[in-house]
Amino acid sequence: MKALDGIKVLDFTHVQSGPTCTQLLAWFGADVIKVERPGVGDATRQQLVDVPGADSLYFTMLNHNKRSIELNSKNETGKAVLTRLIQECDVLVENFAPGALDRMGFSWERIQEINPRIIMASIKGFGPGKYQDCKVYENVAQCAGGSASTTGFLDGPPVVTGAQIGDSGTGLHLCVGIVTALFQREKSGRGQKVSAAMQDAVLNLARVKMRDQQRLAAGPLKEYSQFGEGIPFSEATPRAGNDSGGGQPGRILKCKGWETDPNAYTYFIIQAAVWEKVCDVIGEPDWKTADGFKSPPERLDKLNQIFERIEEWTMTKTKFEVMDVCNPLDIPVGPILSMKEIAEDEGLYATGTMVKVDHPERGEYLSVGCPIKLSDSHVEVERSPLLGEHTAEILSQVLGYSDDEIQDIVASGAVGELKAAAE
Ligand code: CAO
């Protein structure tokens, strides 16, 4: 048994933000039916192609455990099929451009009329307001949500992060909203509309930077390296380089091999509780009691000097040796792991965080599995569907159309050519 067994999801999502959400629902056991334009499908199937003729990794890594039906929702018969799907499903998830669903003739009011129990979940770039009609992609959301202005170094431009906090981050937020709405429906019997704006999701993840924005009114942010360096603060939360958001002094430091390996670095934190141990490890025992070093406030204007000294030590060790020495002493450090190192980490395969999946067109590929582990709802990662692979079975088994009716639907052009499910 899976947590969301029996829940049917009409997955009208594309690109990254929506598909990450419905992929989680599928991993939790929902029957996720991905509706795609006949002959075209989700645009990511053909983006960043590495194996000609096969669905891209962009698509296959975001659409595990789903079924695919080709359906033209602008064709009259297609609209009738979509209406049946809305009647059958518990949840509809979409991330079209603002107004696209209304233009198809499926406003929230209409969807509620068709199925009052349905939960309709939408991702848009912005919430209601002056930017509500904009189409939005990942980096736009990172910029609008306050992440870019607070990421990077003080003397450099704003920087976007590689983690897709705008797309996948919003998908996660929407998933929480959907499951919460399903829980409320148990008591109310009614569906509801769930909305997550990408700007809002990024801002939520950048919450500590809004904390600092307000703290600026009370004076400079003393835990920022900038303070110790005597650089004045302006009116907005500044970029803090690799300082930690939690207020403990921390930096990324070179390790042995940094000259040739771009990831031979470690993160190193010197919180008060472990200061004395840090001093011993780096060979500066006098700093434990020396004036100017013995307490955290005294150290603030010497952080560059202190971290330079620690780096002299980390450069004599690999990033893993740094861990081996510091972890037993509770000194918080973290190796900067490359994607190659992560892809080769057997421990992550043992937990299902990394998985190997077979695919009929591309053979075996690596994917990131479900990062949320439920002890009573085991996740088995299955390959993504081929375009329209399940059109026939969804029309007959989910929607109950007869063979003759299915032939009429095909003849109307509402769905693509029926295909047999691949192995
Ligand atoms: N049958 C018929 N038409 C379909 C269809 C189907 N099965 N699926 C989609 N379409 C149509 C839509 O109805 C829309 O038509 P109209 O323009 O006539 O309304 C058209 O395809 C294009 O949809 P779109 O505007 O959503 O797609 P786009 O490529 O132009 O924009 C994106 C993409 C992501 C910018 C936009 O969808 C968006 O802003 N989404 C919300 C924010 C979001 O999720 N962004 C993250 C994306 S991941 O980086």
> Is the model's pLDDT at 79 over the cut of 90?
yes
Tell me the pLDDT tens digit for each residue of 269-308: 999 999 999 999 999 999 999 999 999 999 999 999 999 9
CA distance 68 to 24: 16
Ligand 1 geometric centre to CA of 50 (Å): 24
Q: Report, as an integer, the average pLDDT of 104-118.
A: 97
Atom from ligand 1 closest to the CA of residue 18? 44
What does DSSP say about strands 333-335 and 265-269: parallel, antiparallel, or unpaired? antiparallel
Cβ–ligand 1 distance for 123 under 6 Å, the answer yes
Q: What is the pTM of this model?
A: 0.96
Residue 121's DSSP bridge partners are 93, 194
Which amino acid, 11? D
CA distance 205 to 90: 29
> Is the model's pLDDT at 421 over the cut of 90?
no
Ligand 1 geometric centre to CA of 418 (Å): 24
CA 317 from chain center: how many Å? 33
Q: Which of 194, 323, 319 is nearest to 263 (CA)?
A: 319
**Torsional sign, CA 138, 144, 150, 152:** positive
Residue 360 pLDDT class (50, 70, 90 cuts): very high
Asked if 350 contacts 340 with a C-beta cutoff of 8 angstroms, the reply is: no
Q: Report, as an integer, the average pLDDT of 203-209.
A: 98
Mutational test site, ligand 1, from 79, 135, 143, max ligand atoms within 8 Å of CB: 135
Residue nearest to atom 14 of ligand 1 (CA): 100
Sheet holding 8-12, edge to edge: 66-70, 31-36, 8-12, 91-94, 119-124, 193-197
Asked if 18 contacts 121 with a C-beta cutoff of 8 angstroms, the reply is: no
Tell me the pLDDT tens digit for each residue of 336-351: 999 999 999 999 999 9
120: phi then psi, degrees, rounded to nearest 5: -110, 120
Is 167 annotated in the active site?
A: yes
Q: What is the pLDDT of residue 422?
A: 66
Mean pLDDT taken over the chain: 97
> Is the model's pLDDT at 245 over the cut of 90?
no
Cβ–ligand 1 distance for 135 under 6 Å, the answer yes
Asked if 191 contacts 119 with a C-beta cutoff of 8 angstroms, the reply is: yes
Q: SS3 for 181?
A: helix
Tell me the pLDDT tens digit for each residue of 113-128: 999 999 999 999 999 9
Q: Which of 42, 55, 90, 167 is catalytic?
A: 167
* DSSP 8-state code for residue 397: I
Residue 246 pLDDT class (50, 70, 90 cuts): confident
CA distance 367 to 61: 6
Ligand 1 geometric centre to CA of 261 (Å): 41
Cβ–ligand 1 distance for 71 under 6 Å, the answer yes
